[in-house]
Chains A and B, each alone.
Chain A
């Protein structure tokens, strides 16, 4: 329960912090940290417009997308304590909950019949497909390392103490960070700020969404960021600390994560579109390194 609450709270401010920091670095006047919230409230007050060529898919997709992400939140553990839902092998379920939401958004984009949206859907599908192995290899290696395969126990039994296990820790955090960037269509894969339809990935897919639906999509993005932030924070938080320390560290990690997103986005140009697949595959490659390290630590393979 506490995990759910914390994720919801940090989700509210995550994008606000990123935007504020980006503006600060780029020497711009900063929007309020609550600006994303105001935007969503404004959207909720508006009516929704549907194009006459769309079908029921387009109408239900945002709600299903949102609910799939929200249910994924239930699986996130906090400091060795299981999330609302937890079962044997739940991280596979978690990954495909996210995937099904994405799948719905992709077919909804195709449903509009717009040339741009088809293009965006096509790109999003490719990148999601490429980023999937990175997540599974990473989760697999942590599972192998701790000899557990549910989210909760996975982190509860994660003891980072030896040099090799630091490798796993650092590589996992790095990979999770960039998976979060890809999944949320941020830099360097996609630029959420762009106005150029031809270079968009995620933004172009939701061009036809408006009002209530668009608000849900925005909230889903916040949640996704908070989910990955929580996963990362679980690498740091130890279960034997008292609850206030844990919460403080958790919020600290979320804050630093948001700042890092802002910094990475401010000081970098985005990738060439055709370099993106290559770049995403590198994440999988790093995950493989983690996997090998886990094999060495658990002495499944021995070095001579």
Chain B
């Protein structure tokens, strides 16, 4: 197809001139997107709109897992046109959340969209009359069914979110998740704060459990926009921190899963093990979650040969205890019995709703940014992705275990084959000059899945638009589907096995 050749193809962490992104007519855009996304190797990374003098400018980024490219295409809705577009959701269901978001923020009506529900009740939404308490829940009128509402305030220390179950006795027929209680307007804040250090700190606080993931994506985006190239070691350090974060959070998740099934032995031991890893991060940079470690244009905390010795010690100890405990846990019949065949997502379902990261890999879909769109660190030290088969809670449990092992192996590989240089030549640089009129995109495989940051600069080299996508955006739907025809008492372990982000979604 001739149109396909006009699509701009870039690599991860690159920036392009805004003019180079081809603007299609909506009819063409519609056709191209459907053709592209019907192929399984492609998935939508981000689809957003921003206001320009001409009208609304829409940009879609599609990740091609085979050719390792990112395809960029756009269309414009002029301000004098009626804000109506034909919905893509009917053909490509995975786009439902993006269209809902655009509808909420700009009031664009997507014709034939199944239900343009509000996503997060953003401060800058188009329809201010719509309040968070008036969320239009799906309901079924029936004598036999009852509704159970949980949240937004929960019994445990977790983030706010409302879950509405429609149940037939103990069985859940339908679950709807309403988010938005954590909305802070982070994307707007990125534009308000002109100081890059402030932006850097903001990025660390997008989601408290994905500090490294989001901050790396932010740093890479802005560096791409400023055309700043860092040394190889900086990239490897970031990847190292990312893998440590993955190990820590996965171990914590396994611990929390044990808590939810009342296996306190496992719960405590994995909790203790997680501490060893985050304590190393603290030893490295002074913060257990890696805040202040990743900075624009450099770092205050270069990785040294002494740290290497310490890290090798920590993971050696961790690995020994982890292997012992994981073996006991996975062989325990009552644990297997509790996790097996609960909350199954088939590969077809996962593909349809466009899951990413762990939630995709649990259903045999090999979707992993470290492999498909690697940055310099993963180009030098390869990572092979792993998948699970069944897509149930057990598969997610199993995958977390295997990913921890893989991450440890990757870290070992780096430790053995890379010589770290402690000379502090690359200090953070917050005065980076952004190139005008450019678009930059960065993808990072955080522990939950792909984090995607996009930034657009205006003609003076200032940030004009900043767009964040947390993997939870895609994956909340998977949790909703997992609960179909599952007992309501199995909700907590399902929820925990995904461990999706509320504030990452609400922004």
Interface residues of A (CB under 8 A from B): 22, 25-28, 115-116, 119, 187-188, 191, 193-199, 265-275
Contacts and interface: CB of A to CB of B under 8 A. Distances in A.
Given A195-B155, A269-B261, A274 B268 contact: no
Nearest to A196: B492
Nearest to A197: B155
A116 B167 CA distance: 12
A267 B269 CA distance: 13
B300 interface: no
9 contacts: A26-B269, A119-B488, A187-B262, A191-B262, A199-B489, A267-B265, A269-B337, A272-B338, A275-B337
Given A22-B264, A268-B334, A269-B338, A116 B148 contact: yes
A98 to B, nearest CB: 24
A26 B265 contact: yes
B490 A273 contact: yes
B136 to A, nearest CB: 20
B334 A115 contact: no
Contacts of A28: 264, 268
Nearest to B147: A115
Contacts of B150: 197-198
Given A115-B148, A275-B337, A265 B489 contact: no
Interface in B440-492: 487-492
Most buried by B among A191, A271, A272: A272
A102 B263 CA distance: 27
A191 B268 CA distance: 16
B319 to A, nearest CB: 19
B305 interface: no
Contacts of B491: 198
Most buried by B among A26, A193, A197, A198: A198
A194 B267 CA distance: 12
A196 to B, nearest CB: 4
B265 A270 contact: no
Contacts of A199: 260, 489, 492
B149 interface: yes
Given A26-B268, A194-B260, A195-B156, A269 B489 contact: no
A270 B338 contact: yes
Contacts of A26: 264-265, 267-269
Q: Name the prevailing secondary structure of the B interface residues.
A: helix
Contacts of A193: 262, 264
B288 interface: no
Interface of B: 146-150, 155-156, 170, 258, 260-265, 267-269, 272, 332, 334-335, 337-338, 342, 487-492
Contacts of A27: 265, 268-269, 272
Contacts of A191: 262
Given A27-B269, A195-B156, A268 B263 contact: yes
Given A195-B156, A196-B155, A273 B264 contact: no
Contact of A188 (B260, B334, B342, B487): B334
A271 B487 CA distance: 13
A265 B264 contact: yes
A267 B147 CA distance: 35
A27 B275 CA distance: 14
Contact of B334 (A194, A195, A198, A270): A270
Contacts of B492: 196, 198-199
Most buried by A among B264, B267, B337, B491: B264
Contacts of B268: 26-28
Contacts of A271: 334, 337-338
Contacts of A22: 264
Nearest to B262: A191
Contacts of A267: 265
A27 B264 CA distance: 9
B262 A269 contact: yes
A223 B155 CA distance: 28
B494 to A, nearest CB: 10
B335 A269 contact: yes
Nearest to A191: B262
A268 B333 CA distance: 9
Contact of A265 (B170, B261, B262): B262
Contact of A274 (B260, B262, B269, B487): B487
Given A268-B332, A269-B263, A270-B262, 15 more contacts: A25-B264, A119-B148, A187-B262, A198-B150, A198-B489, A198-B492, A266-B265, A268-B262, A269-B258, A269-B261, A269-B262, A269-B334, A270-B338, A271-B338, A272-B338
Contacts of A195: 155-156
Nearest to A204: B155
A273 B170 contact: yes
Contacts of B148: 115-116, 119, 198
Nearest to B260: A196
Contacts of B488: 119, 198
A115 B337 contact: no
A25 B267 CA distance: 12
A275 B340 CA distance: 13
Contacts of B155: 195-197
A194 B261 CA distance: 9
Nearest to B338: A269
Contacts of B272: 27
Contacts of B487: 272-274
B156 A269 contact: no
A26 B269 CA distance: 7
A28 B334 CA distance: 22
Nearest to A22: B264
Contacts of A116: 148
Contacts of B260: 194, 196, 199
Most buried by B among A25, A193, A265, A267: A267
A195 B153 CA distance: 13
A185 B70 CA distance: 55
Most buried by A among B156, B260, B332: B260
A268 B136 CA distance: 42
